[in-house]
Structure 1
Amino acid sequence: MKVLVSDRISQAGIDTLEEKGVDVTYNTELSYQELLDQIGDYDGIILRSMTPLNEEVLEQATKLKVIARAGSGYDNIDVDAASKQGIIVLNTPGQNTISAAEQTMALMLAVARNVPQAHNALQDLVWDRNKYMGVELNNKTLGIIGLGRVGGNVAKRAKSFNMEVIANDPYIPAKRGRKLGVELVDLEEILERSDFISLHTPLTEETEHILSTEEFSKMKDGVRVINVARGKNVDHVALYKAIKAGKVVGAALDVHEEEPINEDYSLLDLEEVILAPHLGGTTVEAMDNVSIDAARQLLNVLLDEQLPRTPLNVPIIKPAEMNLIKPYIKLGEKLGGFYSGWIGGRIEQVEVIYQGDIAKQDVEPVTTSLLKGLLKPILDENINLVNASLVARERGIEIIETKSETSDKYSSLITVKIKNNGSTKTISGTVFDEQDIRIVNIDNYGIDLIPEGSLLITDHQDQPGIVGELGTLLGENGINIASMQLGRNRAGGDAVMVLNIDQEGEEKLQEKILEIDGMLDVSIFTL
Structure 2
Amino acid sequence: MLRNSFIATLTFAVIHVLPALGENTTMTNNLKVLVSSNDFPESGLEVLRKHFTVLQSRFIHFGEEGITENKEELLNLIPGCSGLVWVSHHPITKELLDKAGPSLKVVATASAGYNHCNLDELKARGIKLANTPNVLSPAVAEIAVGLILGAARRFTENLDQVRRGEWEIGFNKVLGQDVRGSTVGIVGLGGIGQAVVKRLAGFEVGKFVYTGHREKPEGKALGAEFVSLDQLLAQSDFIVLAVPLTSETKHMINSTTLAKMKKNAILVNVGRGDLVDQDALYDALKNHQIYAAGLDVTTPEPLPKDHKLLTLPNIFILPHIGSATVRTRSDMGVLAANNVVNALSGKPLITPVLE
Please tell me whether the aligned partners of residues 35 and 54 of structure 2 are also in contact (alpha carbons under 8 angstroms): no
**Which residue number corresponds to residue 19 of structure 1?**
50
1:39 aligned to 2:78? yes
Q: For residue 48 of structure 1, what is the aligned residue in structure 2?
A: 87
Deviation, structure 1 residue 37: 4.3
Match of 1:3 in 2: 33
Deviation of the 1:220 alpha carbon: 1.1
Q: Does 1:280 align with 2:322?
A: yes
Structure 2 distance, partners of 1:41, 1:266, is 46
Q: What letter is aligned with 2:86?
A: L
Report if the CA contact (8 A) 2:156-2:313 is conserved: no
Q: Distance in 1 between the 2:80 and 2:134 partners?
A: 31
Distance in 2, matches of 1:138 and 1:278, equals: 27
Aligned equivalents of 1:13, 1:88: Cα separation in 2: 19
Residue of 83, 89, 105 corresponding to 2:129: 89
Q: Report whether the alignment pairs 1:104 with 2:140.
A: no
Q: Distance in 1 between matches of 2:132 and 2:139?
A: 14
In the TM superposition, what whole-angstrom CA distance separates every residue of 1:381-424 from its partner, at most 9, and x where no partner exists? xxxxxxxxxxxxxxxxxxxxxxxxxxxxxxxxxxxxxxxxxxxx
Q: Could you tell me how far 1:116 is from its partner in structure 2?
A: 4.0
Q: CA distance change for structure 1 residues 137 and 78 in 2, over 3 Å: closer, same or farther? A: same
CA distance in 2, matches of 1:30, 1:273: 29
User: Contact 1:300/1:307 (CA < 8 Å) preserved in 2?
Assistant: yes
Deviation string 1:161-196 (CA, Å, 9 cap, x unpaired) is: 1112111122333x3322110111111111111111
Is residue 225–residue 250 contact of structure 1 (8 Å, CA) maintained in 2?
A: yes
Return the offset for 1:151. 0.7
Alignment of 1:317-356 (within 5 A): none
Cα distance change of structure 1 residues 42 and 128 upon mapping to structure 2, 3 Å threshold: farther
TM-score, normalised to structure 2, is 0.82
The one-character-per-residue Cα deviations of 1:300-357 (angstroms, maximum 9, x if unpaired) are: 223x13231222111xxxxxxxxxxxxxxxxxxxxxxxxxxxxxxxxxxxxxxxxxxx
Amino acid aligned to 1:167: Y
The CA distance in 1 between the partners of 2:295 and 2:87, in whole Å, is 19
Distance between the aligned counterparts of 1:129 and 1:43, measured in 2?
Answer: 63
Separation in structure 1 between the aligned mates of residue 318 and residue 213 of structure 2, nearest angstrom? 29
Match of 1:296 in 2: 338
The 2-side partners of 1:30 and 1:223 are apart by: 37
SS of 1:122's equivalent in the other structure is helix
The SS at the match of 1:155 is helix
Aligned length: 312
TM-score (norm 1): 0.56
CA contact (8 A) 1:49 1:73 kept: no
CA shift for structure 1 position 160: 1.7
Distance 1:37 1:19 in 2: 24
**What is the aligned counterpart of 1:167 among 183, 205, 210?**
210
Deviations 1:433-477 (A, max 9, x none): xxxxxxxxxxxxxxxxxxxxxxxxxxxxxxxxxxxxxxxxxxxxx
How far 1:148 moved relative to its partner? 1.0
Mapped to 2, the partners of 1:244 and 1:30 lie a distance apart of 34
Give the Cα–Cα distance (whole angstroms) in 2 for the partners of residues 13 and 126 of structure 1: 48
In structure 2, give the amino acid aligned to 1:53. Answer: I
Contact 1:71 1:95 in 2 (8 A): no
Q: What residue number does 2:181 align with?
A: 139
Which amino acid counterpart does residue 109 of structure 1 have in structure 2?
A: L
Give the deviation of 1:128 after TM superposition.
Answer: 1.9
Distance (Å, rounded) in 2 between the aligned partners of 1:39 and 1:271: 46
| Contact 2:187/2:211 (<8 A) preserved | yes
Structure 1, unmatched stretches of 5+, are: 315-527
What secondary structure is seen at the aligned counterpart in 2 of 1:99?
helix
Looking at structure 1, the residues matched to 199 and 187 of structure 2 have their Cα atoms a distance apart, in angstroms, of 15
Structure 1, 133-142 or 44-53: larger mean CA deviation: 44-53
SS of match in other structure, 2:292: strand
CA 138–247 in structure 1, closer or farther in 2 if over 3 Å, else same: same
Q: Secondary structure at the match of 1:40?
A: coil
Verify the 8 A CA contact 2:32 2:52 in the aligned structure 1: no
Deviations 1:353-385 (A, max 9, x none): xxxxxxxxxxxxxxxxxxxxxxxxxxxxxxxxx
1:403-418 equivalences under 5 Å are none
Q: CA–CA distance in 2 between the matches of 1:148 and 1:129?
A: 42
**Contact 1:102-1:154 within 8 A present in 2 as well:** yes
Question: Are the structure 2 counterparts of residues 30 and 211 from structure 1 closer, same or farther at C-alpha, using a change threshold of 3 Å?
Answer: closer
Partner of 1:311: 352
Once the two structures are superposed, what CA deviation does each residue of 1:217-252 show, in whole Å capped at 9, x if it has no partner?
111112111000111111111100101111122111
Describe the shift of the 1:170–1:23 C-alpha distance in structure 2 as closer, same or farther (beyond 3 A).
closer
1:259-307 superposed Cα distances (whole Å, 9 cap, x missing partner): 23224632122121111111111111110111001111112223x1323
Q: Which moved more, 1:77-86 or 1:40-49?
A: 40-49
**Pairwise CA RMSD:** 1.9
Contact map agreement 1:54 1:76 (CA 8 A) in 2 = no
The 5 A counterparts of 1:378-393 are none
Aligned equivalents of 1:269, 1:119: Cα separation in 2:
14
- From 37, 58, 70, give the equivalent of 2:97: 58
Q: 1:210 aligns with which of 252, 256, 268?
A: 252
User: Taking structure 1 as reference, are residues 108 and 46 closer, same or farther at Cα in structure 2, changes over 3 Å only?
Assistant: same
Task: Give distance in 2, aligned partners of 1:210 and 1:107.
Answer: 20
CA distance in 1, matches of 2:157, 2:82: 47
2:302 paired residue among 260, 263, 276? 260
> How big is each residue's C-alpha offset from its partner over 1:88-113, in whole Å with a ceiling of 9 and x where there is no partner?
11112111110111110111111111
Q: Where does residue 166 of structure 2 map in the other structure? A: 126
- In structure 2, the partner of 1:79 is 119
Where does residue 26 of structure 2 map in the other structure? Answer: none
- CA–CA distance in structure 2, aligned partners of residues 12 and 129 of structure 1: 49
Q: 2:97 & 2:215 partners in 1: Cα distance?
A: 35
Question: Larger Cα Rg: Structure 1 or Structure 2?
Answer: 1
State, as a whole percentage, how many aligned pairs show the same letter: 33
Which structure is richer in relative contact order (CA contacts within 8 A, separation 6 or more)?
2
Separation of aligned partners in 2, 1:61 and 1:267: 40
Q: Which amino acid aligns with 2:261?
A: M
Label 1:123 to 1:301 Cα distance change in 2 as closer, same or farther (>3 A): same
Q: Which runs of 5+ in 2 are unaligned?
A: 1-30
